[in-house]
Structure 1
């Protein structure tokens, strides 16, 4: 698997990846985007911002880059950056299918993305991804699997994914919602010709939402690479929105709340790659201090006390406005 490169890399930041959800489209639900991106959200403006972020991330040791069909032009932006740097051959590129971007490059669309896990959507989006990323794609994930997703039971889809795996693309899935653990365990049971279909899982895990941890540990023990998304809880764990207890711990470490929040995730023994969703190079630099944060047991206990009941967490996330 290409992820072995991450596990054996020598830079501490190799276990932090860069996700382009917040920068590949003009609207997203992260808090603070008005401040981060300003009013100019033109395609070329965000393309150059994305390339600056990718340059900075690569220079500082980041080797995993995460995009999706529904992240606006994120695949296109990443593909353009790769074209600028043909010498780069030591990164891992992951994308996702299953949501179609429908906001037409606006921030106030009634619907920003539409979910569909059918084989037809897979074939269409796989062709779209291939046209942009070609053989630079290492990982293709089903986007936001839930326990009731047809992707867990559709044998035709499983056969198509197995074909992609046989051709050299790692097949994985991501999860969302209060029943992430159930979705993970159901996906672990999916096999094709007696072999497990999925080799990676990408799930939400952060100080506020820890419910998927036991299932992610099981996935890790089963040999899957675990990728953690939303470690910053869509900006709720960043200044100025961070809870007071997190701000206090951050002050004790002399680092930002973002670095402490990501350090909390990095401490999990099953966490293979933890995504930064930085929208600026300053945010990225602060995020990349996470491997240097040394949290003691008392600090970890104070942070653990901030956990929310999953349904409360996901209801609040669902109420975040698109900025």
Structure 2
């Protein structure tokens, strides 16, 4: 079953997967993107960039890849790569529905994506995902559930998702926003015919934003696989953008701030898969060094001082420009 395979869809040394948000479209909110991608971001250039990343990730043991309908052409790029890599039949593929990409391959569109958690959106986007990925689609997640999402109360949608699960598709959800914990707990309470609906949860958790931690521990205890996104806080914990305390600990470990930041997440006992959102092969290699970081209690205490109030964190994230 795909759900069972998620437990091993990681590198041999650490639970790291590859997310394609940064390379499936020309514009995104990650800091440093101008330097990472340069000016040439046409479709074929980013297709080649995505394939290069996937080749490198696979060679280094990564076996979980995460896409979404709203990540531009990420599903298309991934499907192309899978078609030319028949040896990669052990890769577990996750995607998400609930946002529609609307930027038309532009970096300065007025709106880059539109949220819609309706049953109609699910049916349309699932057909689109399956047209590209076919039976390689293992996990399908509701994208960015918040406590007010209609996906939490739509019984007809729940029934359709349960039907998909009965057919072999693993069903999960992701969360965003300052009330992630509330959304997680509400989703955990959803059952169909007495059985829990969701088998995975994907949430933001990093050295700056830890508020979802207790709810993610509850999800893990309930049997869900926990996938962590935005472990680098959209670049705020990488390179020159990293806080001084993080850079200081990184210097002590002789590794990059990104590896230390991801190591903080990997230490959580409930973290099943931690996503790298690398845009370059060098970034991916540095991210994978997180498995080698052995943090002391004193270093962890210093890093704990970085935690922000959820409302402040998400307000800053919401203000990041699309590069």
Q: Does 1:136 align with 2:136?
A: yes
Q: Is the 8 A contact 1:14 1:64 kept in 2?
A: no
Deviations 1:51-93 (A, max 9, x none): 0000000000000000000000000000000000122211110
1:78 — aligned with what?
78
1:268 — aligned with what?
268
2:50 — aligned with what?
50
Deviations 1:190-228 (A, max 9, x none): 000010000000000000000000000000000000000
For the residues of structure 1 that align with 2:27 and 2:119, how far apart are their CA atoms?
A: 28
For the residues of structure 1 that align with 2:4 and 2:201, how far apart are their CA atoms?
A: 15
For the residues of structure 1 that align with 2:204 and 2:232, how far apart are their CA atoms?
A: 10
SS in 1 for 2:86: coil
For the residues of structure 2 that align with 1:61 and 1:205, how far apart are their CA atoms?
A: 23
Q: Does 1:248 align with 2:251?
A: no
For the residues of structure 2 that align with 1:47 and 1:120, how far apart are their CA atoms?
A: 29
Q: Is the 8 A contact 2:3 2:170 kept in 1?
A: no
Deviations 1:120-146 (A, max 9, x none): 000000000000000000000000000
1:149 — aligned with what?
149
For the residues of structure 1 that align with 2:13 and 2:105, how far apart are their CA atoms?
A: 32
2:96 — aligned with what?
96
Q: Does 1:216 align with 2:188?
A: no
Deviations 1:120-174 (A, max 9, x none): 0000000000000000000000000000000000001001101110110000000
SS in 2 for 1:133: helix
Q: 1:142 to 1:9 in 2, by over 3 A?
A: closer
In the TM superposition, structure 1's runs of 4+ consecutive aligned residues that sit over 4 Å from their partners are 8-11
SS in 1 for 2:88: coil
Shift of 1:34: 0.1
Q: Which runs of 5+ in 2 are unaligned?
A: none
Q: Is the 8 A contact 1:13 1:62 kept in 2?
A: no
SS in 2 for 1:90: coil
Deviations 1:25-49 (A, max 9, x none): 0000000000000000000000000
Q: 1:165 to 1:10 in 2, by over 3 A?
A: closer
2:30 — aligned with what?
30
Q: Which runs of 5+ in 1 are unaligned?
A: none
Q: Does 1:118 align with 2:118?
A: yes
Shift of 1:15: 1.1
SS in 1 for 2:241: coil
Q: Is the 8 A contact 1:3 1:92 kept in 2?
A: no
Shift of 1:11: 4.4
Shift of 1:9: 6.9
For the residues of structure 1 that align with 2:148 and 2:156, how far apart are their CA atoms?
A: 17
Q: 1:187 to 1:254 in 2, by over 3 A?
A: same
